[in-house]
Amino acid sequence: MQRHIDDLGRFTRLDQPIELRGATLTNDQAHAAMIASLLLKGGAKLDQQSSDAFTEDYLDAIEDLPAWSVREAIRKWNQAESPRLDGKPHSYDFRPSPPTLRRLAQLELASVRGRMIELQKICDAEALVEYSDEHRKGMLERLTDVFKLQVVSRENKDAA
């Protein structure tokens, strides 16, 4: 199970290559390719200045996220399967805004992190120890003796 947790941990790191359209890319390269694709579709045609500004906004929004989570968020957006954010439906006729894309990608990443936490809790779990009534009674008697000794010790100190 610990090996599986470690394997899942790879998906939270930014140094992992990603396969995108038949090419193996770094995280940054994959981000750039996905943003370029987003800007080519949906909405009005952008001039160079607007395209550069949008690119910078998107890169700012996703720079600390693994590319696979961004890719999965875009895939779900394209399939009109993105979860609602703040209870509001999405308009899938347009590309997601940079903050929306970030939040959707974070949800994808959160599912992996949540799974890792669940598995780690299982690994860290301790078996429940059940004691017999006889053992419990003996421990309570010993504890009572300890308290009696402490009381006697304090009384002796106070008397001295």
Q: Which residue has the higher pLDDT, 80 or 151?
A: 80
pLDDT at 43: 64
For 17-49, write each residue's pLDDT tens digit.
Answer: 999 889 999 999 999 999 998 888 766 677 888
Question: At 95, which amino acid appears?
Answer: R
Pick the more confident residue, 151 or 62. 62
Nearest to 68 by CA among 19, 107, 117, 29: 19
Q: How far is CA 95 from CA 28, 30, 39, 75, in A?
A: 20, 17, 8, 12
Give tens-digit pLDDT for 81-129. 999 998 888 888 888 999 999 999 999 999 999 999 999 999 999 888 8
Q: What is the pLDDT at residue 42?
A: 62
> Which residue type occupies 47?
D
Query: How far is 5 from 123, CA to CA, in rounded Å?
Result: 10
